[in-house]
Amino acid sequence: MKDVFLVTGAAGFIGANLVRELVSLGRDVNIIVRDRKLNWRLQGIANTINIFECDIQDSKLQEIIDKIKPDYIFHLAGYGNLPHEEDIYKMVDINLKGTINLLNAVKKNPFKLFVNTGSSAEYGIKDSQMKESDVLQPVNNYGVIKSAITLYCQKEAVRNNLPIINFRLFTPYGYFEGENRLIPDVALNALEGSPIKVSSPMHVRDFIFIEDVVNAYIQAIKTQHKPGEIYNIGGGVQYSVKDIVEKILTITESKSEIQWGAVKKQARYVEPKKWVADMSKTKKLLQWESKYSIDSGLRKAIQWFREHKDLYN
């Protein structure tokens, strides 16, 4: 009998890529979305997945979970990752209360693995590589709520001996990423020869290609985990915005004008000089590490943007 997969947040950037990979692997894929009319990221695969319309805060979630009886749950639904998503009450309701509701629902049926998707925003400002054992000192509301969810998932896993783990994602990029994000925005403008409007060249991130991120979720199925375990999912190398812009211009051979300071700095971020994952634990316990360098990942992403520019019109 086939294992049954459930993905929340399937209409999002990471969720859609994960769903598409699971479909390509011939898995029994179920998704929970707030609107059965699939968005641009999932167009063309509706007949290969089971679609359930529901908000994860809704009481009818239990009925859906009882029907699906998922073996593997990849939880990516959330609010607050985008600059305009600033309502802390929505973060509490959708992210924290939604996760609690989902966990309460899946606990009533045996499952093999629940992967909660956290964020490097949980760490806050650090002056060295970010380790899973670091004290959390988030500096924005999104990081605070994500930290609370990780702790709640850990509590549930340890107290009830449940197969629940947490991924702390750093900065994914690639196919189906929103056009308002750094890499697709720069790449699409570079391909058109249009001006590139960016904020500070000095901001840093640990960028991780979407194929690597998806492979981490797939690898989690194959690995034994201690209940409540936390894994960093990053590349272990940081790059500045200037580095990324220059690499994209080189790959695209673009002559686009760079307009530094044309984009206002996101007020929710305190920009550190160090934002990079310590990947030693993930490499050892999850037996996973990124396969794509920043250059090879950008090349694949830019080629995809080149071929799918119509999706962004």
Q: Which residues lie below 8 Å from residue 140, measured CB to CB, with a gap of 6+?
A: 121, 268, 269, 270
Q: What pLDDT score was predicted for residue 50?
A: 96
Q: Is the pLDDT of residue 36 over 80?
A: no
Going from the N-terminus, what domains does the chain have, and what CATH number goes with each? 4-172+208-236 (3.40.50.720), 178-205+237-275+292-312 (3.90.25.10)
Give the pLDDT confidence of 84-96 residue by residue, as tens digits.
888 999 999 999 9
Instruction: Tell me the per-residue pLDDT of 263-283, one tens digit each, with 9 for 90 and over.
Output: 877 665 678 889 999 999 999
Greater model confidence, 42 or 84: 42
Residue 242: predicted pLDDT: 97
Distance (Å, rounded) from C-alpha 29 to C-alpha 171?
Answer: 25
Residues 162 and 225: beta-carbon distance below 8 Å: no
The confidence score (pLDDT) of residue 143 equals: 96
Select the more confidently predicted residue: 1 or 48: 48
- d(Cα 105, Cα 100) in Å, to the nearest integer? 9
How far apart CA 233 and CA 190 sit, in angstroms, is 28
Distances (CA, A) of 278 to 201, 233, 284: 23, 9, 12
pTM assigned to the model: 0.96
Report pLDDT digits (tens) over 98-134. 999 999 999 999 999 999 999 999 999 999 999 999 9
